[in-house]
Amino acid sequence: MQRDRNGTGARVPTGRLERMLHMGGIASGIAGGLAAGGLKTLAQGKRPDMASLLMTPANGLRVTEGLSHLRGAALKLGQMLSMDSGMVLPEELTAILARMRDDAQPMPPKQLQSVLNAEWGAGWYGRFRQFDLRPFAAASIGQVHRAVLPDGQVLAIKVQYPGVRDSIDSDVDNMASLLRLPGLLPRDMNLAPLMAEAKRQLHAEADYHAEAQHLTRFGTLLLGDEGFTLPQIIPELCTGRVLAMSYLQSAPLESLITAPQATRDRVAAALIDLVLRELFDFGAMQTDPNLANFRHDPKSGRIVLLDFGAVQPIAPALATDFRALLVAALDGTPELVRKAMLRIGYFAETTAPHHQDLIQSLFDMAMEPLRQSTHFDFGQSNLLDRLRDRGLALGAERDLAHVPPAATLFLHRKIAGTYLMAARLGARVALRPMVERYPQAHIDISPGRDISP
């Protein structure tokens, strides 16, 4: 395993065969651990439990170090699943995946230069007054460098790891194989739709031309908004694998933890309102809630929005369905809530009634902050703990194999991440008035209206 012991980076495996063999090495290591653990358990006169054998610290280290070395789609998918936005993964698996959120190694300078030679041509360094070969940020799909143009303009240059785009499908298939190891998930759980959507999203996210368009679009949508600021694209330096943009001086959002309560409340409210605007007004949502994508400008007080690779379109029908669900959850009956949840796909008509009850109870609990007109204290609430306990109880239902639609899961990933940010800030926000600002008059939730599919 190549670890970045001296700060020079670790080479990214590029070819499909090389990446497949690396993933195979992870699986082989897990299998060896399973065999050893199973023999030890048998020697103690006990029956081996596959789930507990899989979730050992040693296997967790194999997975996180292995995927962090691979980078690309394999690591990105692990980070996506770590948010557990509706699948209710086993607690141990979620903990392993969570370790991958910020665990990516940069590529070494020699490999970086090869990538930039291919994208910009030989002699590219002469286009800059300065180009820092050491990245100031490294993520699953690419790393970011600081550069200075001859006129003094400071840029942030995001460079995609080599081989990422070509290995997406095989990486996702290999990750799906790991998830299908016995004891991790219900045997009948159909991962195919989620994996297909993950491939689609990752192919889109690996297209930096598309990300430049998303960044430009959101910049237009938020033009004149005093709460947010976004980088500007430098088109002449952008390629499908290099994204060049203006560098915005900012601080981590976590630096506001000690800020005045009013500041923390304002920032959290702005982030929550942005989610509502994305869902109901913009028709598009940035679905990656990684804390590093949201920063703060101490001078202007604005929130800095970064990374628009994971932008997903919001179909008008889906936005209408979620609006109907919110209206039903705020003022409707449990029957109307269940119909709206069925329409969105939280469960199917064939889902056992007691499983529908469990899923609806989880949703009702999550709606508690929206049902109160007073300020909800994110920092003091134990709602996350209660949701986790209820979710684990639901995950223990090993015959519950239904997986909500991928679009819903990615949307919930953003909602869950925004909640976590507000909790980290210890913010207090009145949520119901915010939700009620969005047009709802055309949504009829009267008992006589059928909103079922």
Separation of first and last alpha carbons in the chain: 50
Nearest-angstrom CA–CA distance, 203 and 205: 5
Nearest-angstrom CA–CA distance, 444 and 257: 41
Q: Which of 84, 288, 307, 321 is catalytic?
A: 288
Q: Which of 25, 13, 21 is nearest to 163 (CA)?
A: 13
Question: Within 10 Å of residue 25's Cβ, how many Cβ atoms?
Answer: 13
Helices (H) and strands (E) in the chain, counts: 17, 13
- What Å distances lie between residue 104 and 12, 204, 225, CA to CA? 11, 20, 33
The question of whether 288 is a catalytic residue gets the answer yes
Tokens representing 377 are 């204290």
Question: Within 10 Å of residue 66's Cβ, how many Cβ atoms?
Answer: 21
- What Å distances lie between residue 187 and 88, 177, 192, CA to CA? 15, 13, 13
Q: Which of 143, 160, 155, 159 is nearest to 249 (CA)?
A: 155
DSSP-derived 3-state class of residue 298: coil
Q: Which residues are catalytic?
A: 288
